[in-house]
Amino acid sequence: MLARAIKAKVTTINVTPEFQMVIDEGFVLPNAYALKKRFEDATAKHAKKIVATVKAGARSAGVNCDAAIVSSSRPYEAIMRQAKKAKCDLIIMASHGRKGLKGLLLGSETAKVLTHSKIPVLVVR
């Protein structure tokens, strides 16, 4: 593991999507707030599981690891904000993600971080 070899501290982040309420001509579902709560609970549970897995892997490798879970409609901005807050020297991201038409329309979060980050970015394939 790179972090162990260079005695680095790792900060992992999981960015969960924000709840998007669909409103059609002013009509809002009567239980929209219950749906929002259910969505937020489910995404938080999933994010905690992912972060716990990363922290366990780091711990078993003897690497100090902090974690953050944030909700944002713009993950690339949340990633850069957390990297700055944690005083990171390097952002490491995967090269895979959305493919096809979705990838073209939404854009790659990795590409957005590469484009906008003032912190160096290492892309792992």
| 39, 19 contact by CB (below 8 A) | yes
Report the topology of domain 2-73. Rossmann fold (3.40.50)
User: What pTM was computed for the model?
Assistant: 0.82
Query: Which residue type occupies 101?
Result: L
As beta bridge partners, residue 27 has 24
Where b means 16+ CB within 10 Å and e means fewer, 12-43 reads bbbbbeebeeeeeeeeeeeeeeeeeeebeeeb
Residue 88, phi-psi category: left (phi > 0), alpha (psi -120 to 50), beta (remainder): beta
pLDDT, tens only, 58-87: 999 999 999 999 999 999 999 999 999 999
Interatomic CA distance for residues 36 and 68, integer angstroms: 21
Percentage of the chain modeled with pLDDT above 70 = 82
Supply φ then ψ for residue 33, to 5 degrees: -70, -35
For the chain, give every domain's residue range: 2-73, 89-125
- In tens, the pLDDT along 42-56 reads 999 999 999 999 999
